[in-house]
C-alpha cells in the first residue's frame, strides 16, 4: 500500500522538510534558507548553521505537514539526510527525525544527500535508465552513470574544489555577496557571456574535475590588471562593474566548457547512453543548462534538469529517495548515525 514519506534535510545551510506520496508525488516542499545569516561571513559558518536549524526545524516540519493538509499520524516513514554534510547540522535533522520516529513509532531511513540530488529529476520527469548525471553544487561536483533507482556508479569527481565553490570564491575575491553563482550569471549576462580572459580548462581526457586552480588564475589576472591589492586583500578595480562583468563572464564560460568537455568524453566512453541529467545548485544556471541541452540535442540525447527549487538543497528529493527505499523495505533502526 502506498504511504506518505516525510523528508527532512539539514545537511548545510537550508532547513527543509517535504511530504511525498508514493503514488501522487510531492505534497509539500518547505524551506528556510539561512543565506542571510551567513552572507556577512562570505560562506557558511557551521556553528551558526546548527543553531539556526535547531530554531527552525519544528516550524518547518509543521509547515510541510500543514501545506500537505496532513497530521503527523498520516506519515509512515521519515527520510532524513544523514550524510554527507556539516556534522552539527546533520545531527539536528537526525535527532529531530529520531525523536518523532521513537515517540510515534514511525519508520526511519537515513538518506545520502548526494543520492537525493542524483534522483531529484524524478520529482518532475521520468529520465530513462541508464543515464548520465552531472551533479554540481557548492559542496560537490561529480559525474555518475545511473542504472536504476538507488543504483549508480561514480565516473569522476572533483579532486579539490566544487564548481559552485569556484563561483563563490571568485565572487568573494570581487567583493560580491554569497552565494556567488547567481550574481556571476547576472554579470556575465550583461556582457553576453563573452570569454575575455580564457582561464585554464584543465585536462580533457579524464572524468575527474579540478576547480581550485581557477581561483588562482582569476586572482593572478586581477593583480596583473591592478584590480586587486594583495596587502589589503581588497578588490580595487577602477571600473569595478566592467572588471566584475569580464571576470564573471570568462569564469562562467570556462566552467561551462569544462562541463561540456567532460560530458563529451563521458558520452564517448559510454556511447549507448541516451539521456543526461544536470542537478545540484549550479544546475540553476540557465546559460550552462542551455549549452548542455544543445550538446545533447546535437547527439540525439534527451536532457533533464530540475526546476531551480529542486536543484538547490531541498527535502523533496530526500523524501523521494526515501520513497523507493521504503518500497524495498530498506529501513534503518534508531541506531542510525551521521557521517560527514
Taking the complex as a whole, the smallest distance from the CB of residue 272 to ligand KG4 amounts, in Å, to 29
226/228 Cα distance (integer angstroms): 6
Q: Give the one entry of Zn ion, ligand KG4, none that residue 185 binds, where binding means its C-beta sits below a cut-off of 5 to 8 angstroms depending on kind.
A: ligand KG4
Nearer to Zn ion, 137 or 249 (CB): 137
**Measured between alpha carbons, how far is residue 146 from residues 133, 151, 207, 330 in Å?**
7, 6, 15, 19
Taking the complex as a whole, the smallest distance from the CB of residue 150 to Zn ion amounts, in Å, to 18
137 binding Zn ion? (CB under 5 A)? yes
Q: Cβ(89)–Cβ(50) under 8 Å? A: yes
**Measured between alpha carbons, how far is residue 248 from residues 106, 133, 309 in Å?**
48, 26, 23
16/84 Cα distance (integer angstroms): 16
Nearer to ligand KG4, 121 or 181 (CB): 181
**Measured between alpha carbons, how far is residue 157 from residues 63, 205, 206 in Å?**
36, 13, 10
Using CB under 6 A as the criterion, which residues of the chain lie in contact with ligand KG4 when the complex forms?
12, 137-139, 164, 167-168, 179-182, 185, 280-282, 284-285, 312-313
Phi, psi of 92 (to 5 degrees): -60, -50
76/118 Cα distance (integer angstroms): 24
Q: Give the one entry of ligand KG4, Zn ion, none that residue 179 binds, where binding means its C-beta sits below a cut-off of 5 to 8 angstroms depending on kind.
A: ligand KG4
Nearer to ligand KG4, 130 or 180 (CB): 180
Q: Give the one entry of Zn ion, ligand KG4, none that residue 9 binds, where binding means its C-beta sits below a cut-off of 5 to 8 angstroms depending on kind.
A: none
97/75 Cα distance (integer angstroms): 12
Taking the complex as a whole, the smallest distance from the CB of residue 234 to Zn ion amounts, in Å, to 31
Q: Give the one entry of Zn ion, ligand KG4, none that residue 168 binds, where binding means its C-beta sits below a cut-off of 5 to 8 angstroms depending on kind.
A: ligand KG4
What beta strand segments (E) does the chain contain?
A: 4-9, 14-21, 25-33, 75-83, 107-112, 131-136, 141-148, 151-157, 228-229, 234-235, 275-279, 302-304
313 binding Zn ion? (CB under 5 A)? yes
Nearer to ligand KG4, 235 or 278 (CB): 278
Q: Give the one entry of Zn ion, ligand KG4, none that residue 87 binds, where binding means its C-beta sits below a cut-off of 5 to 8 angstroms depending on kind.
A: none
Q: Give the one entry of Zn ion, ligand KG4, none that residue 110 binds, where binding means its C-beta sits below a cut-off of 5 to 8 angstroms depending on kind.
A: none
Pairing of strands 107-112, 131-136: unpaired
13 binding Zn ion? (CB under 5 A)? no
Going by C-beta distance under 8 Å and a sequence separation of 6 or more, which residues neighbour residue 215?
A: 161, 166, 169, 170, 173
Task: Identify any residues that bridge with 108 across adjacent strands, giving them in sequence order.
Answer: 78, 332
Nearer to ligand KG4, 251 or 326 (CB): 251
Nearer to ligand KG4, 14 or 101 (CB): 14
Nearer to Zn ion, 82 or 137 (CB): 137
Nearer to ligand KG4, 75 or 319 (CB): 319
81 binding Zn ion? (CB under 5 A)? no
Eight-state DSSP code of residue 68: T
Taking the complex as a whole, the smallest distance from the CB of residue 299 to ligand KG4 amounts, in Å, to 24
Size of the site for Zn ion (CB under 5 A): 2
Residues that bind Zn ion in the complex, under the rule CB under 5 A: 137, 313
Amino acid at each position: 500500500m502506498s504511504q506518505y514519506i516525510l523528508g527532512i534535510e539539514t545537511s548545510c545551510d537550508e532547513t527543509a522538510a517535504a511530504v511525498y506520496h508514493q503514488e501522487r508525488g510531492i505534497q509539500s516542499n518547505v524551506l528556510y534558507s539561512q543565506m542571510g545569516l551567513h552572507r556577512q561571513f562570505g560562506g557558511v559558518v557551521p556553528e551558526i548553521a546548527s543553531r539556526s536549524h535547531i530554531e527552525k526545524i519544528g516550524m518547518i516540519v509543521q509547515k510541510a505537514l500543514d501545506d500537505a493538509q496532513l497530521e503527523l499520524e498520516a506519515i509512515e516513514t521519515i527520510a532524513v539526510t544523514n550524510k554527507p554534510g556539516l556534522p552539527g547540522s546533520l545531527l539536528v535533522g537526525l535527532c529531530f527525525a529520531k525523536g518523532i520516529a521513537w515517540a510515534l513509532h514511525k519508520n526511519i531511513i537515513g538518506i545520502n544527500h548526494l543520492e537525493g540530488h542524483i534522483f531529484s529529476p524524478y520529482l518532475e520527469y521520468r529520465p530513462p535508465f541508464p543515464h548520465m548525471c552531472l551533479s554540481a553544487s557548492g559542496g560537490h561536483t561529480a559525474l555518475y552513470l545511473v542504472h536504476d533507482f538507488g543504483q549508480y556508479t561514480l565516473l569522476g569527481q572533483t579532486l579539490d574544489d566544487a564548481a559552485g565553490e569556484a563561483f563563490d570564491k571568485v565572487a568573494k575575491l570581487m567583493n560580491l555577496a554569497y552565494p556567488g553563482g547567481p550574481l556571476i550569471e547576472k554579470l556575465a549576462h550583461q556582457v553576453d557571456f563573452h570569454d575575455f580572459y580564457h582561464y585554464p580548462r584543465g585536462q580533457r581526457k579524464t572524468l575527474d574535475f579540478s576547480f581550485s586552480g581557477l581561483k588562482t588564475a582569476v586572482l593572478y589576472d586581477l593583480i596583473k590588471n591592478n584590480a586587486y591589492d594583495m596587502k589589503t586583500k581588497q578588490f580595487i578595480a577602477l571600473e569595478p562593474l566592467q572588471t566584475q562583468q569580464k571576470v564573471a563572464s570568462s569564469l562562467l564560460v570556462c566552467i561551462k566548457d569544462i562541463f561540456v568537455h567532460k560530458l563529451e568524453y563521458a558520452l564517448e566512453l559510454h556511447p549507448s547512453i541516451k539521456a543526461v541529467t544536470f542537478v545540484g545548485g549550479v544546475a540553476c544556471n540557465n546559460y550552462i543548462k542551455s549549452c548542455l541541452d544543445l550538446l545533447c540535442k546535437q547527439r540525439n540525447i534527451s536532457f533533464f534538469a530540475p526546476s531551480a527549487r529542486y536543484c538547490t538543497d531541498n527535502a523533496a528529493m530526500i523524501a523521494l529517495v526515501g520513497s523507493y527505499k521504503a518500497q524495498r523495505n530498506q529501513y534503518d533502526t534508531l541506531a542510525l548515525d551521521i557521517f560527514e
